[in-house]
Amino acid sequence: MSGGVDSSVAAARLVAAGHDVVGVTMKLWGGESDTGCCSVSDVDDARRVAQQLGIAHHTWTFTDDFERHVVGPYVDAHRRGATPNPCVECNRHLKFDRLTRRAWAVGFDAVATGHHARIVERPGGTRRLARGADRAKDQSYVLYMLDQSTLARTLLPVGETSKAEVRAEAAALGLRTAAKPDSQDVCFVTAARGRHDFLGHRIPLRRGVVVAGDGRAVGEVPAVELVTVGQRRGLGLPGGGEPRYAVAVDVPGATVRVGPQAELLAESVTLGGVTWAGGPRAEQVGAQCSAHGAVRPATVEPAPGGGAVIRFDRPERRVAAGQAVVLYDGDEVVGGGLAT
């Protein structure tokens, strides 16, 4: 229970269905936080909802693994000029690994979360993750890594429900989280201090030169580590003319190359560390390359070493290294991995 409305209603539904439910909030982060899974007020909300539902509430401390698998890699990705996926890594290593292992060890049959996604049963007893009924709130993208053994012991009680209905149900039950705003952005980076300040305390941030295709300096950025391929704003470029985008970020060389949108286009992307819902196989898929990005028609082909090559049906905007790419067959997740 994160202290948000979705996990509150998920818990309420399981209690109403007669399950033996215990609420758990993960304590992941000891530093500053606006909201998300870690602040004291969110733990308070989760506990108060649990009290209202008449279930025990526990706080489990996984700050060590959060640092190891989420915050550390987030910082390291910036240092390398790659795009981090803290929410994906938190699900992979914390919610659906450390927490589920403990839950199973102490005797629970399943772990339920408030994610907007569904688990559909397929003939032969296998399962697939699928998009939530509320397409605008769908979170299947950040859960692509769930494998068969995890899916078999995972419940997503609000996946069939729209966010508006979840809020209405919370309000009808009198849950204090009914009108709580959705969590936004990276939970361990505060809005007030920002990414620049957070990273600046952990790694040296260096000024970068912005160059045009011909190598001519055209601008400057305060921190080359914070520039993402595809970025248009904040590159210190004079206004007017054809829009120019960051098309290459060279962190060691402290250089950002800009170019027209056409230079951002790519025919394909190669993924590493791929999870396959039904085993590796070549097929036509819809590839989603960011948390709420459009689905791009593509063909997937397994590659050696646990990878995959995604060929877009027509050139698409380049996928930044490190970005998660999730492959869909209709609403069902067939696989996913990180862009190399």
Partner 1 sequence: MPDRLTYLDHAATTPLRPEAAAAMAPWLGDRFGNPSGAHRVARAARQAVDEARDVVAAAVGCRPGDVVFTGGGTEADNLAVLGVHAARPGPVLCSAVEHEAVLVPVAAAGGRTVGVDAAGRLDLDALAGALDPDTTLVSVMAANNQVGTVQPLPDVAEVVRERAPHAAVHADAVQAATWLDLPPLLAGSALVSLSSHKVGGPQGVGALVVRQGTPLRARALGGGQERELRSGTHNVAGIAGFAAALAAVLASREATAARVRALADRLASGLVATVPGATETVPDRAARLPGLVHLCIPGIESEALLFLLDDAGVCASAASACASGAHEASHVLAAMGVPPSRGAGALRLSLGWSSTEADVDHALAVIPAAAARLRGAAA
The Cα–Cα gap between 264 and 226 comes to 18
What phi and psi, each to the nearest 5 degrees, are found at residue 338? -110, 135
- Residue number with CB closer to partner 1 (21 or 82): 21
User: Least distance from C-beta 328 to partner 1, angstroms?
Assistant: 34
Residue type, 165: E
Q: For the packed helices 40-53 and 5-16, what is the interaxial angle rounded to 10 degrees?
A: 20
In DSSP notation, 13-47 reads HHHHTT----EEEEE---S--SSSS-SHHHHHHHH
User: Would you name the residues annotated as active-site residues?
Assistant: 90, 187
- Residue number with CB closer to partner 1 (104 or 267): 104
Within 8 A by CB and 6+ apart from 153, the residues are 100, 104, 109, 110, 111
- Residue number with CB closer to partner 1 (69 or 128): 69
The Cα–Cα gap between 184 and 87 comes to 11
The Cα–Cα gap between 323 and 192 comes to 25
In DSSP notation, 221-270 reads ES-GGG--TT--SSS---SSSS--EEEEEETTTTEEEEE-GGGGEEEEEE
CA 207 to chain CA mean position, Å:
28
- Residue number with CB closer to partner 1 (187 or 199): 187
User: Least distance from C-beta 89 to partner 1, angstroms?
Assistant: 21
Contact residues: partner 1, CB under 8 A: 27, 40, 43, 47, 56, 58-61, 101-102, 104-107
Largest CA distance in the chain: 68
- CB-based contact 104:153 (threshold 8 Å): yes
- CB-based contact 115:159 (threshold 8 Å): yes
User: Least distance from C-beta 39 to partner 1, angstroms?
Assistant: 10
- Residue number with CB closer to partner 1 (40 or 171): 40
User: Least distance from C-beta 55 to partner 1, angstroms?
Assistant: 13
- CB-based contact 325:310 (threshold 8 Å): yes
The Cα–Cα gap between 196 and 177 comes to 31
Sign, CA torsion 95/99/100/101: positive
- Residue number with CB closer to partner 1 (101 or 207): 101
User: Least distance from C-beta 20 to partner 1, angstroms?
Assistant: 10
User: Least distance from C-beta 47 to partner 1, angstroms?
Assistant: 8
